[in-house]
Amino acid sequence: MTQELFEYILSNYTNLFSEEERRMHNKLQDYHNWLSLVEVHGIDIGKDKTGLFDLTMDEINSLASIDREELDKAIAARIWNMHKDELFINTCPTCGGIARTKQARQCRKGHRW
Ligand SMILES: [Zn+2]
């Protein structure tokens, strides 16, 4: 799967995520936001350090070992394998590149249609 197709499926077909995939995807997003705020920027968000997020310290500790990109790639691959006949892949008529959204009328190279 190309990077373009991966990003397109992940951002345009969240409705096809399974409940478990959505839960894990959202937890990892929360975890990475938490990581950025607390660990990278050192911002104090309260004594339990989970205040702004829907996370427990136990979850934070277990999420740390999960590769977010690997999980997202597995989700996109499953959606592609199970639903490829139903998906609308919005491609540029000039270069064949995949647009960012289903509604886009411009590709990443700047062609318009
Ligand atoms: Zn194009």
List pLDDT tens digits, range 38-79: 888 888 877 677 777 888 889 989 999 999 999 999 999 999
CA distances from 81 to 16, 18, 68, 106 (A): 12, 14, 20, 27
Q: Which residues surround ligand 1, an ion (CB under 5 A)?
A: 92, 94-95, 97, 107, 109, 111
Q: Which range has the top average pLDDT, 12-21, 31-40, 55-64? A: 12-21
Could you tell me the distance, in angstroms and rounded to a whole number, from the CA of residue 102 to the centre of ligand 1? 14
4 CA to centre of own chain: 13
Q: Where are the domains positioned within the chain?
A: 17-83
- pLDDT value of position 18: 98
pTM for the predicted model, two decimal places = 0.83
Other C-beta atoms closer than 10 Å to the C-beta of 48 total 8
Mean pLDDT within 78-94: 97
- pLDDT value of position 73: 97
Could you tell me the distance, in angstroms and rounded to a whole number, from the CA of residue 105 to the centre of ligand 1? 10
Could you tell me the distance, in angstroms and rounded to a whole number, from the CA of residue 100 to the centre of ligand 1? 11
**Distance between CA 77 and CA 16 in Å, rounded?**
12
